[in-house]
Amino acid sequence: MNVFIIGIGLIGGSFALDLKTVKKQVEIYGVDENEEHLEKALDLGLIDKKAKFEDIKNADLVYLAIPVDASLEVLPKILDLVSDKCVVIDAGSTKEHLCKKVENHPKRRNYLSAHPISGTEFSGPTAAIHGLFKNKTNIICEVEKTAFKLQEIALEIFQAIGMRIRYMDPASHDRHIAYVSHLSHISSFMLGKTVLEKEKNERDIFDLAGSGFESTVRLAKSSPAMWTPIFSQNKKNVMETLDEYISNLKHFRKLMEEDNFEEVFNEMEKTNHIREVLNGINKNEELKLQ
Amino acid sequence: MNVFIIGIGLIGGSFALDLKTVKKQVEIYGVDENEEHLEKALDLGLIDKKAKFEDIKNADLVYLAIPVDASLEVLPKILDLVSDKCVVIDAGSTKEHLCKKVENHPKRRNYLSAHPISGTEFSGPTAAIHGLFKNKTNIICEVEKTAFKLQEIALEIFQAIGMRIRYMDPASHDRHIAYVSHLSHISSFMLGKTVLEKEKNERDIFDLAGSGFESTVRLAKSSPAMWTPIFSQNKKNVMETLDEYISNLKHFRKLMEEDNFEEVFNEMEKTNHIREVLNGINKNEELKLQ
């Protein structure tokens, strides 16, 4: 099986690593604009060979893992090139624009629109790790538009690398993910910004910050090149989540200003319910491990 | 050495566990309003005996680890009871009010005002763990007001359980900690609230939430009974951090609204500097481990 990874970073590289462990006789080709990343990916054994974009015509599977603005340009060109038996999967964090972009492409049936809910705050080929997708959710959009046989090939791989599958329409995906992923990133970036601005003397952050701060600010290490186009493509939904978040923060501030600490207590107690929700996530992951 | 732990929860219980491993011939007495917690602490071996408040007169060391509003009431009563050779240490997350409260107490020299930057989102005696304080910072306020011999006793213990010591005045402590701890908790609670409100159908959170969301929302599991009095006592500083945080979020939203994604990128790139700050924290912890 000839697999082409377009964008050999955290996601593309981790997919390559997992694919090698679950598939016999797989040849992995890397395509990346960044020549250094390609060389690094070769060194690390993420890919078997470097390839040119036009070689995609020989692919059995193409995995597209580049920033979502670039995907809008690149996916149609990939579909132009691939053979009828090739399945093209993307891993982008926004789905509506991309699905719209290729809706009338003659090879739309070769494309499977997916979003693996997995990653770390790191990026590039050195960030690639084995097992990144294990017990993680893979959201598939517009599955009915992909050729049945190609769906099968993709699903067999997703299952082999340990992913749970959920089907969703692109608009719902983008709306929901704005809440549970995109907003978290902005809240984290702005928290980092607020503290950095204040604590000009970094020695103070360094000395007083505990694991709580580290946990809430972790996502502020994420790649701006990846996240800027996500916020741009999902602008409407993300702004809605931001409005609600800001309004909740202002309400909390107002309660404090009014010395209404009984209600401050209640706000937090109600939100403690997140424990059960998160426990649910972990319990399910444990169940899947058995 | 007779040690009295007042409030045998996450912090008090973990302190008891560490103390037993570093001190020979230590007898640990637990005092807690919650009889169930006391029984649990006995079962778990956190304490050797249950005790009454008035027994504190026999203490060599008292460790006060209760919500900060209760500390305001309880600390003067402890000082009323203790002998001259007893050191009383507290672990509260706000320091200005408490130091003010006892500034004229005749036994002020028996008190050492401290704040260990350590903890988890869990609470109660079952949350107590070995090594919670290892490589963590312990901020000590107004050290000059504590009797020299009693400082020595406390510092020897802090060193034995692996803590780094930093000295600070109470007002600076409360102002700095508002940024690196208190604000993180509010940002996390309000993030949890925003998502819970939107995703009435929890199945959706459960399916789409990844480790990023889990990390940013972790602190929203924290105890409202502990955090409400902290926000109340540190109201002025916390409201200032909230104002700056809200203003940064609004600015980010405005950039998005204006389609100024170049500046959105810059905002995130500048904040990526948090990587080096956090690496500094970890590097220092590694150094201390050597």
Q: Counting beta carbons within 10 angstroms of the beta carbon of residue A280, is it exposed (0 to 12), middle (13 to 18) or buried (19 or more)?
A: middle
What string of H, E and C letters represents the secondary structure of chain A? CEEEEECCCHHHHHHHHHHHHHCCCCEEEEECCCHHHHHHHHHCCCCCEECCHHHHHHCCEEEECCCHHHHHHHHHHHHHHCCCCCEEEECCCCCHHHHHHCCCCCCHHHEEEEEECCCCCCCCHHHCCCCCCCCCEEEEECHHHCCHHHHHHHHHHHHHCCCEEEEECHHHHHHHHHHHHHHHHHHHHHHHHHHHHHCCCHHHHHHHCCHHHHHHHHHHHCCHHHHHHHHHHCHHHHHHHHHHHHHHHHHHHHHHHCCCHHHHHHHHHHHCCHHHHHHHHHHHHHHHHC
Average pLDDT over residues B46-62: 97
Asked whether A97 and A72 are in contact (CB, 8 A), the reply is yes
Report the percentage of chain B scoring pLDDT > 90: 85
Q: Does the pLDDT value for residue B168 go beyond 80?
A: yes
Q: Are residues A14 and A156 in the same domain?
A: yes
For residue B136, what is the nearest residue in chain A, using CA coordinates?
A210
Q: Are residues B30 and B109 in the same domain?
A: yes
Q: Which domain holds residue B233?
A: 173-258
Q: Are residues A33 and A163 in the same domain?
A: yes
Q: Does the pLDDT value for residue B280 go beyond 80?
A: no
Of A168, A199, A220, the residue at which a domain comes to its end is A168
Q: Are residues A146 and A244 in the same domain?
A: no
Q: Are residues B53 and B114 in the same domain?
A: yes
B281 belongs to a structural domain:
no
Q: Do B190 and A217 touch (CB under 8 A)?
A: no
Share the mean pLDDT of chain B: 93
Q: Are residues A126 and A185 in the same domain?
A: no
Total domains present in chain B = 2
Which residues of chain A neighbour B206 with C-beta distances below 8 Å? 277, 280-281, 284
Q: Are residues A120 and A238 in the same domain?
A: no
Q: Does the pLDDT value for residue B287 go beyond 90?
A: no
B22 close contact with A: CB closer than 8 A: no
Q: Are residues B204 and B93 in the same domain?
A: no
- pLDDT at position A279 is 75
Q: Are residues A192 and A84 in the same domain?
A: no
B277 belongs to a structural domain:
no
For residue B225, what is the nearest residue in chain A, using CA coordinates?
A265
CATH number of the domain at A12, please: 3.40.50.720
- pLDDT at position B281 is 60
Q: Are residues B19 and B159 in the same domain?
A: yes
For residue B178, what is the nearest residue in chain A, using CA coordinates?
A195
Q: How confident is the model at residue B202 (pLDDT cuts 50, 70, 90)?
A: low
A233 belongs to a structural domain:
yes
- pLDDT at position A276 is 84
Which residues of chain B neighbour A266 with C-beta distances below 8 Å? 224
Q: For residue range B217-262, what is the model confidence (pLDDT) as tens digits?
A: 999 999 999 999 999 999 999 999 999 999 999 999 999 999 999 9
Question: The complex's ipTM?
Answer: 0.90
Q: Are residues B153 and B225 in the same domain?
A: no
- pLDDT at position A288 is 41
Q: Are residues B149 and B76 in the same domain?
A: yes
The residues of chain A scoring below 50 in pLDDT are 285-290
> Judged by CB atoms within 8 Å, which residues 205-224 of A form the interface with B?
205-222, 224
A180 belongs to a structural domain:
yes
Q: Do B119 and A210 touch (CB under 8 A)?
A: yes
- pLDDT at position A209 is 82
For residue B93, what is the nearest residue in chain A, using CA coordinates?
A208
Mutate to test the interface with A, among B233, B274, B278, B281 (most CBs of A within 10 A): B274
B272 belongs to a structural domain:
no
Number of A–B residue contacts, CB under 8 Å: 308
- pLDDT at position B283 is 55
Q: For residue range B184-195, what is the model confidence (pLDDT) as tens digits?
A: 999 999 999 999
CATH number of the domain at A214, please: 1.10.3660.10
Task: Report the candidate in A277, A158, A231 with the shortest Cα–Cα distance to residue B213.
Answer: A277
